[in-house]
Amino acid sequence: MSVRSTNLFWGALLVGLAVCGGTALWVARAAVRNGIERQSGTTQTSAQTSTVASARNLSLQPEAMKLARQLGVRFLTGKNATSLVVGTLRIGSEARLIQMTRIQTDDGESVQLTLDGLLGSLTWDAKQGVLSAGRQATTSQRELIERLVFDSPDEFVLMQIRGSSYHTVARGVRPVDAPDDYDGPLWTIIRVDDPEQNEAKTPASRWRLFYVNTSTGLIDRTESEVQGQRVVAEISA
C-alpha cells in the first residue's frame, strides 16, 4: 500500500521482557514496521503548522533526515504531528491495554502513556523528563516509558533536535553467526548519544545503537545498556 494518507495503523503493540544469563532482552513488535504512515486503521496522525518551524529543522542531521523521508509526511518542516497508538503491552505473561500519544514539539516531542491498571498516566518530554501523574516516576515506570519512547524510529529522528550526536559505527553489518552464503538483511549501525546533563531527566541509557536496514532504509533493531545489562528492541512487521 502506498504512502498517501496521514492515518497511521498499528494493529497492536507487543513488548516482551526476558532475562537470560543476566542480560535483559526487550522485544518490541508492531503491526506496521517503523510506524510508516498508511491508509485506514485505529491510530491517527494529525499535523498542524508550527509557529517556530526553524527550531525543528530536521535537515541539520542527514541520518535523521533520511529516515524522516522514509517514515512519511509527519516530519515535514513547519508541521508538528500528533500520533495516537492503541494496543496491547505484554511484559512476560502479563498483558495490559495501552494508549500512547506522541506530540511533536519544537524541541522534540511530548509523550503520554496510559496503561490499564496504572493510576494516572506516565509522561515524558525534553523539559521535564519522566513523570507519573505529574510526580517523579519510579525506576520501573521510568524504564517502561523510556523503552517505548527512546527505542523508536520517531526518537531517532527527533533526538537531533535536542542536540544528540550521531556517529556511524559500521556499514554492511550482518549477524555474527551468519553463514558464508547468507543473503539476509545488512545494516548500517548508527550510535546516538543523548546530551542531557540534568540527572532528573537523563535517560537510563545515555546511548543507543540503531540498526538501519540497508535495503529498506528503516530501523530493524536498537541496542542500549542499562545498569550493565544489554537491552535489545526489535522492530518488525
Domain range enclosing 108 = 7-234
At residue 170 the predicted structure's pLDDT band, cuts being 50, 70 and 90, is: very high
DSSP codes of every residue in 13-49? EEEEEEEETTEEEEEEEESSGGG---SSSSEEEEEEE
Quick check: is 53 in a domain?
A: yes
Question: Which range has the worst mean pLDDT, 15-24, 76-85, 94-103, 152-161?
Answer: 15-24
Report the SS3 class of residue 208. strand
Number of domains into which the chain is organized: 1
Question: Which range has the worst mean pLDDT, 6-15, 43-52, 211-220?
Answer: 6-15
CB burial string 145-177: b at 16+ within 10 A, e below = bbbbbbbbbbbbbbbbbeebebeeeeeebeeee
Residue 140 confidence (pLDDT) above 60: yes
Q: How far apart are CA 98 and CA 138, in angstroms?
A: 18
At residue 7 the predicted structure's pLDDT band, cuts being 50, 70 and 90, is: very low
**Could you read off the pLDDT of 87-134 as tens digits, one per residue?**
888 777 788 888 999 998 888 889 999 888 776 789 999 888 899 888
Quick check: is 25 in a domain?
A: yes
Which grid coordinates are listed for 20?
Answer: 537470560
Residue 173 confidence (pLDDT) above 90: yes
Quick check: is 2 in a domain?
A: no
Quick check: is 154 in a domain?
A: yes
- Output the pLDDT for position 18: 30
Contact at 8 Å (CB) between 119 and 132? no
Q: What are the respective helix, strand and coil percentages of the chain, to the nearest 5?
A: 20, 45, 35
DSSP codes of every residue in 94-144? EEEEEEEEEEEETTEEEEEEEETT-SS-EEEETTTEEEETTEEPPHHHHHH
Q: Which residue's C-alpha cell is 498542524?
A: 48
Q: Which residue's C-alpha cell is 503493540?
A: 13
Stretch 22-45: mean pLDDT: 38
Q: How far apart are CA 212 and CA 132, in angstroms?
A: 32
**Could you read off the pLDDT of 49-72 as tens digits, one per residue?**
333 334 467 777 888 888 888 887
**Could you read off the pLDDT of 188-234 as tens digits, one per residue?**
999 999 988 887 788 888 899 999 999 999 999 999 998 888 888 88
- Output the pLDDT for position 50: 39
- Output the pLDDT for position 35: 52
Q: How far apart are CA 103 and CA 165, in angstroms?
A: 22
Q: How far apart are CA 150 and CA 154, in angstroms?
A: 8
Q: How far apart are CA 213 and CA 221, in angstroms?
A: 9
- Output the pLDDT for position 195: 87
- Output the pLDDT for position 30: 34
At residue 5 the predicted structure's pLDDT band, cuts being 50, 70 and 90, is: very low
Quick check: is 1 in a domain?
A: no
Quick check: is 64 in a domain?
A: yes
Residue 30 CA to chain centroid, in angstroms?
12
